[in-house]
Homo-oligomer: A and B are copies of this chain.
């Protein structure tokens, strides 16, 4: 962790331009604009936060266009949010494990291979026929079932369970408590109630640069693979059922659930607590608002909301109509009463 950097050092790292302030000013931390202190750097990227520009206690603010601000230093970059990201990396605390490369308490089956520069924490279990790529970190207490394959430079945080046959790409991050390769939910219902299990013969395949949050569940396929495409990012507590296929570069917010065999295209964005039915196609670039219940296919680029989900404009139109409903009912009563008085109906 960097303890401090001069404004000039930060500016150079960001390939930015100091619009105001002494290049030798010493920055000691990074913070949100509303909470920053007098030795912090922050960023301003959205008009939503303009109220803080004049009051921030920050020493320096990263901007993407000139602004008026109470901060003594202003640093201009192309993309303020990305500049903030880079500065966070500069000040990232060292939270690496104190345990050495491969901890002696880890149990690794002799048939499994691990690459160079791997870190394997205490109490990790790696079952037979696994391959762990170069530079991977496997956190304490994680379990790799038989035949798990992980590419290079991936991070499996503590307490993750990757079950038999899971394939994980390179530069992937999987957070604690997540399970991949649990059986999909499939049964032949029995009229007498003695439902019979459909064996789940497939696996889970996770692309490169994917990040999966904590306590997610990603079920193995019945046959073939449940798959998550490159650069897709999952938040926490997400359910991905068997044979779901998710494309590249999607964002899926927490507590969303996607039922079996549904296909999600590229660049799809899900709010939190969304539910998607089975055997549905959500096309590229669609946006699914939080808490939506998706019951049919979603066309490319369309934003849907509500339960059952509809085009968002329609949801808003109906919600506005419902808001007016009590008054409309009053009016209808009046009209009806007026008519009765006239016609004796």
Contact = CB atoms under 8 A, between A and B. Distances in A.
Interface of A: 29-32, 35, 79, 81-82, 84-85, 88-89, 91-93, 95-99, 103, 105, 107, 109, 111, 121-123, 125, 127-129, 139-141, 143, 145-147, 157-159, 161, 163-165, 173, 175-177, 179, 182-183, 185, 187-190, 192-199, 201, 209, 211, 213-217, 219, 222-224, 230-231, 233, 235-237, 239, 241, 243, 248-249, 251, 253-255, 257, 259, 261, 266-267, 272-273, 275, 277, 290-291, 293, 307-308, 317-319, 321-326, 328-329, 331-332, 335-336, 338-339, 343, 345
A292 to B, nearest CB: 9
Nearest to A338: B339
A325 B217 CA distance: 40
Nearest to A243: B32
A91 B293 CA distance: 36
Nearest to A111: B98
Contacts of A105: 105, 107
Contacts of A185: 213, 233, 235-236, 253-254
Contacts of A236: 182, 185, 217, 219, 239
Number of copies: 3
A241 B93 CA distance: 20
A93 B99 CA distance: 36
Contact of A182 (B92, B93, B213, B239): B213
Nearest to A34: B261
Nearest to A108: B122
Given A193-B249, A335-B332, A237 B239 contact: yes
B125 A158 contact: yes
Contact of A249 (B81, B195, B214): B195
Given A109-B99, A345-B338, A233 B140 contact: no
A31 B202 CA distance: 10
Nearest to A221: B32
B176 A179 contact: yes
Given A158-B143, A253-B185, A266-B193, A293 B293 contact: no
Given A123-B143, A183-B213, A290-B293, 4 more contacts: A85-B196, A158-B163, A161-B176, A255-B275
Given A32-B223, A179-B215, A257-B254, A121 B125 contact: yes
Contacts of A183: 173, 175, 211, 213
A257 B199 CA distance: 26
